[in-house]
Amino acid sequence: MKYVATFLVLLLSYLGLVGLVGSTEQFLQELVLGTVVSLVLTFILANYVNYTIDYKFPVRLLVFVFAYIPVFVWALILANFDVARRVLSPKIPLNPGFVKIKTDLEGDFAKLTLANSITLTPGTLSIDVDGNDIYVHTVDVKGKTPEENKKNISARFEKLLGVIFK
């Protein structure tokens, strides 16, 4: 199963980077070459890979693309305007601090996605993950308690990610 997952990821990346241009014949040539290259790389790389895919994977991918990405992009745009306002104002309004956020998510991929989402929404930068705690540097510490911080920073992502990565 690990081999299949690695092989599919490699082959799809290859085909995507080659692009869907040219005639059918050219595409078939690329397909054959891509399959061979991906097979060779699969046997080298599969030992280092620790993810698998199952029959539910396409469903999760759809949920991820159509439910998570819009929420994420909206947060990204709002927060970028916030940072733009800070950067452009004459005296930069800052109230920085390092806060600890508890997460209920299980699994490395879920935590990675959550940490990356926190980093990409401006104003917050995840620094380290330790078990179920994520340490975050934030430009503006708003909450007084860990719960308030969590609500401000990560709660909106966590609900959806909990559904996607189970």
Residues contributing to the site for another protein (CB under 8 A): 13, 15-17, 19-21, 76, 79-80, 83-84, 87-88, 92, 94-100, 115-116, 119-128, 130, 133, 135, 137, 139, 141
Q: Pick between residue 39 and residue 96 the one whose CB is nearest to another protein.
A: 96
55 CB-contact burial (10 Å; exposed 0-12 / middle 13-18 / buried 19+): exposed
Q: CB-wise, 34 or 122, nearer to another protein?
A: 122
- Picking from 126, 132, 127, the residue whose alpha carbon sits closest to that of residue 108 is 132
Q: How far apart are CA 24 and CA 9, in angstroms?
A: 22
Residue 134 CB, nearest distance to another protein (Å)?
Answer: 10
What tokens does 71 get? Answer: 């929420």
Q: How far is the CB of 67 from another protein (least distance, A)?
A: 17
Which residue number, 1 or 92, has a Cβ lying nearer to another protein? 92
Structure tokens at 153: 């920073």
3-state secondary structure 26-70: HHHHHHHHHHHHHHHHHHHHHHHCCCCCCCCHHHHHHHHHHHHHH
Q: Which amino acid is at 31?
A: L
In the complex, least distance from residue 96 CB atom to another protein, rounded to whole angstroms:
5
> Which CB, 31 or 79, lies closer to another protein?
79
What 3 state SS string does 129-148 have?
EECCEEEEEECECCCCCHHH
Least distance between another protein and beta carbon 58 (Å) = 17
Q: How far is the CB of 87 from another protein (least distance, A)?
A: 5
Nearer residue to another protein within complex by CB, 35 or 80:
80
